[in-house]
């Protein structure tokens, strides 16, 4: 077993030597994170310190001493954990605190590992099966699932997922997971989660560059986040009926791939012209939102690594939030603040539905200009709003700008982050 290194948290320097001004200091074989009183962002400083400590070669961290709180321990875990060390943190405090943090770390580790898998090993059907199995393992007596795959998607009218994925040798699929602890098959669904599960995105005929395609194994990050959120909420005592829909496909080029100019007709009658095959996420999410709307759930949350525009606007440090329902937006902001996950609400109005016009259909999926043109993230959300009921009441769209890092940063290791899981779990509880 790997020997653990003790990590202490202090508000004053632990040394009078050359280390005295350092955030990370060493005393004998133990490590101290020494926060300065002037630091206005202590949790961020702890996460940065944890990243530095991991880079020094520490294999396993044991948090020691009386100064650690639940939020500071979680910030350390986010910074320290990485590929090969996704659960290598020992927490401290009461047994309840330790158990809660271990549950959270286990779910984040599962979700992050899923995002980090290669596209050859994580194809659409396997993504759906792994998500269904993991959620089922949390509460086998209350979970059922169903997968619609391949040509059956087209037969049942799920045209978005089918067309985006039909060009791949690996068939697309729609996963439905039903968590129903009530025992009543007619119980109302309190919330629905919808996730973008594009296991690899070549861009289709709107082909990405080599650099733009390199990290596209992460394009199923939305599916990993909402599946993780459902699993975490169950571990934390979820007692309401919740459904999950994952829209899984590979966006590939082949003789059978969908094409620019194709027109799809969705179940709700909306016709859509393909203006950009690389704006495929919103095409598949439309099916998931329609499926969620059929349940009449008062809360529908979708999550996706959807637009580069959101990453550019936030610097990859916030998840972008879109909604037409300001009351539900405030609930999301409070949930995010409670679990210390940064989100930022972006503009969205009903007229954003008209920002992707088509001469041949009700809408296009984008605009045929780089990045979808000005307001690209809001325009994408406007497209999605066509597929939810009640003029968007109770609907939240998370554009996961923080879901993945191609290389390590001062806060996170390379790979999936899991950010968004805790906020969404809090919301559906």
Write the pLDDT tens digit of every residue in 53-104: 999 999 999 999 999 999 999 999 999 999 999 999 999 999 999 999 999 9
Tokens of 91: 């927490």
Residue 107 lies in a domain: no
Residue 314 lies in a domain: yes
Tokens of 136: 């089922």
CB atoms within 10 A of CB 421: 28
- What pLDDT shows up at residue 37? 75
Question: How far is Cα 7 from Cα 1, in angstroms, rounded to an integer?
Answer: 18
CB contact set of 317 (below 8 Å; sequence gap of 6+): 342, 401, 402
Determine how β-strand 271-273 pairs with β-strand 415-416: unpaired
What range defines the domain where residue 84 resides? Answer: 5-93
Residue 103 lies in a domain: no
Question: How far is Cα 299 from Cα 164, in angstroms, rounded to an integer?
Answer: 27
Tokens of 230: 């459902």
**Which residues of the chain are under the pLDDT cut of 50?**
1
Residue 99 lies in a domain: no
Tokens of 90: 């020992």
Are both 222 and 352 inside the same structural domain? yes
Are both 257 and 118 inside the same structural domain? yes
Question: How far is Cα 244 from Cα 278, in angstroms, rounded to an integer?
Answer: 25
Tokens of 342: 């940064």
- What pLDDT shows up at residue 35? 93
Q: Which of 93, 120, 138 is the last residue of a domain?
A: 93
Q: Which of 39, 66, 93 is the last residue of a domain?
A: 93
Q: Smallest Cα–Cα separation from 305: which of 284, 323, 291?
A: 284
Are both 296 and 247 inside the same structural domain? yes
Residue 248 lies in a domain: yes
Question: How far is Cα 319 from Cα 315, in angstroms, rounded to an integer?
Answer: 10
Are both 128 and 81 inside the same structural domain? no
Domain tally, the chain: 2
Tell me how far CA of residue 47 lies from CA of 42, 335, 409, in angstroms.
9, 20, 11
Are both 71 and 153 inside the same structural domain? no
Determine how β-strand 61-64 pairs with β-strand 143-149: unpaired
DSSP code for 157: T
- What pLDDT shows up at residue 375? 87
Residue 100 lies in a domain: no
Q: Which of 93, 120, 155 is the last residue of a domain?
A: 93
pTM value is 0.97
Are both 126 and 60 inside the same structural domain? no
Are both 130 and 223 inside the same structural domain? yes
Are both 254 and 364 inside the same structural domain? yes
- Residues with catalytic function: 208, 282
Are both 89 and 137 inside the same structural domain? no
């Amino acid at each position: 077993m790997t020997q653990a290194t003790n990590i202490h948290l202090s508000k004053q320097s632990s040394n009078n030597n050359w280390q005295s001004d350092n955030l990370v200091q060493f005393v004998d074989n133990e490590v101290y994170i020494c926060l300065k009183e002037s630091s206005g962002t202590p949790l961020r400083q702890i996460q940065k310190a944890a990243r530095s400590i991991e880079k020094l070669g520490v294999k396993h961290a044991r948090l020691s001493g009386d100064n650690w709180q639940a939020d500071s321990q979680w910030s350390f875990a986010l910074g320290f954990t990485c590929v090969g060390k996704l659960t290598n943190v020992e927490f401290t405090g009461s047994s309840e605190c330790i158990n809660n943090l271990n549950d959270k770390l286990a779910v984040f580790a599962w979700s992050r590992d899923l995002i980090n898998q290669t596209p050859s090993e994580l194809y659409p059907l396997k993504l759906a099966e792994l998500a269904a199995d993991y959620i089922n393992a949390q509460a086998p007596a209350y979970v059922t699932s169903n997968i619609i795959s391949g040509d059956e998607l087209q037969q049942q009218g799920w045209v978005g997922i089918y067309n985006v994925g039909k060009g791949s040798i690996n068939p697309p699929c729609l996963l439905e997971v039903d968590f129903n602890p009530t025992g009543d098959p007619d119980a109302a669904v309190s919330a629905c989660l919808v996730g973008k599960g594009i296991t690899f995105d070549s861009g289709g005929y709107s082909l990405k560059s080599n650099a733009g395609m390199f990290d596209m194994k992460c394009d199923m990050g939305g599916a990993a986040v909402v599946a993780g959120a459902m699993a975490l909420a169950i571990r934390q005592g979820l007692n309401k009926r919740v459904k999950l829909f994952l829209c899984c496909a590979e966006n590939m080029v082949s003789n059978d791939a969908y094409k620019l100019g194709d027109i799809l007709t969705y179940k709700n009658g909306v016709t859509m012209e393909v203006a950009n095959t690389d704006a495929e996420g919103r095409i598949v999410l439309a099916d998931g939102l329609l499926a969620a709307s059929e349940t009449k759930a008062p809360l529908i949350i979708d999550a996706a690594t959807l637009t580069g525009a959101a990453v550019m606007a936030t610097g990859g440090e916030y998840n972008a939030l879109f909604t037409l329902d300001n009351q539900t937006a405030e609930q999301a902001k409070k949930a995010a603040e409670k679990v210390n996950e940064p989100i930022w609400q972006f503009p969205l109005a009903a007229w954003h539905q008209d920002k992707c016009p088509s001469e041949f259909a009700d809408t296009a999926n984008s605009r045929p200009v780089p990045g979808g043109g000005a307001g690209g993230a809001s325009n994408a959300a406007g497209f999605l709003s066509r597929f939810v009921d009640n003029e968007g009441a109770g609907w939240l769209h998370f554009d996961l700008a923080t879901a993945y890092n191609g290389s390590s940063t001062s806060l996170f290791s390379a790979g999936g982050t899991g950010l968004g899981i805790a906020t969404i779990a809090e919301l559906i509880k």
